[in-house]
Structure 1
């Protein structure tokens, strides 16, 4: 009996101490980014990809010394991001991967503490993505919900058109919102454009054309 108890005790210690290596631990399936590099010229944070497959990256940044959960969070599908930082301000930067419901989130990598040497608050969005729904298979129209690279602070202008030419202006949306388009024809190919409104009320260049279609 004593031998059995000892074995169970050892197994319990291993379970408590080695959970990060368990294939059933979500964080073991969603590798923590490594090799965080910050380029001062354009405030670009990049990192090495550990886990492949579906998912996206979450960056959290704020003034030096801030507590995780209280910073500004942005999302990107790339392994780099131009942060909207202000010159001569000191920041802490973190990044982690979100691998979805099945594989969870990685640990946070960081912080990387940086002193911004330039102001980069008006970088145009770097990507867009969308989901689509229809009321039925026989319906001739559909709805598209579009999201884009968003710094969590700025406002953006969006446009949906059938043209490939960047528009002169667009519809203003506040930070964090998505653009929802209804009544779109399943037989028409659309193009989405988005740009950031800068701190001085000017605008970045448009990102796009980003194609949106039913098939």
Structure 2
């Protein structure tokens, strides 16, 4: 009788503690991601793949201390995701694999608690500033170098116009998050606009009009 009780207890403990780990558990076919990593520069969350075959990954994130099921969930086919986070906010990150109908989902891996050092969420820039130069006081033109609030990672579209109405689109600023305009007329009042290109290739609203003039 004592031996029978011991056997029952063994299988009971294994059922409670070995879910996802036992080779007899169907869920074990969908390997739980490991080696979770976070790169602060671009708020990139990555992990190692532990099972092959079809499927995708579910990333859930939220403010530090949130309960699973109450966070924001995103889907990715890669083993990384660039998260839209706010600078100086603390987050918890989780990930699991969805292996499809036959093999189900893996266990959640995480949390990884991180402090975001950059804002990568899709918000429009909050300010702009510029410097101006001219070849001489007698010249009729000047040059302007414009910079704006940016996260140092994302791409931005800029527009310089004489209109105060927000433009439909702009030119992509590729280098140094600055826009340089040469040969502007000293007698014309210009307006500068800038917007952020977001991770899903959508755009924030334009910041502007920001006036640029010689005097």
Secondary structure in 2 matching 1:196: coil
TM-score normalised by L of structure 2: 0.54
Contact 1:121 1:199 (8 Å CA) reproduced: no
- 1:196 has 2:201 as partner: yes
TM-score normalised by L of structure 1: 0.54
* Aligned pairs for 1:14-93 within 5 A: 15-17=14-16, 18-93=18-93
Contact 2:19 2:25 (8 Å CA) reproduced: yes
Structure 1 residues 118 and 36, CA gap change in structure 2 (3 angstroms)? same
* Aligned pairs for 1:124-163 within 5 A: none
Match of 1:9 in 2: 8
> 2:204 and 2:21 mapped to 1: Cα distance?
46
Which one has the largest radius of gyration? Answer: 2
RMSD across aligned C-alpha pairs, in angstroms? 2.7
Structure 1 residues 72 and 10, CA gap change in structure 2 (3 angstroms)? closer
Structure 1 residues 198 and 10, CA gap change in structure 2 (3 angstroms)? same
Alignment size in residue pairs: 132
Contact 1:34 1:47 (8 Å CA) reproduced: yes
Structure 1 residues 4 and 93, CA gap change in structure 2 (3 angstroms)? closer
> 1:197 and 1:78 mapped to 2: Cα distance?
20
> 1:83 and 1:30 mapped to 2: Cα distance?
24
Q: Unaligned regions of 5+ residues in structure 1, if any?
A: 123-167, 170-193, 203-215
Q: Unaligned regions of 5+ residues in structure 2, if any?
A: 123-167, 170-198, 208-215
Contact 2:19 2:27 (8 Å CA) reproduced: no
> 2:86 and 2:19 mapped to 1: Cα distance?
40
Contact 1:93 1:111 (8 Å CA) reproduced: yes
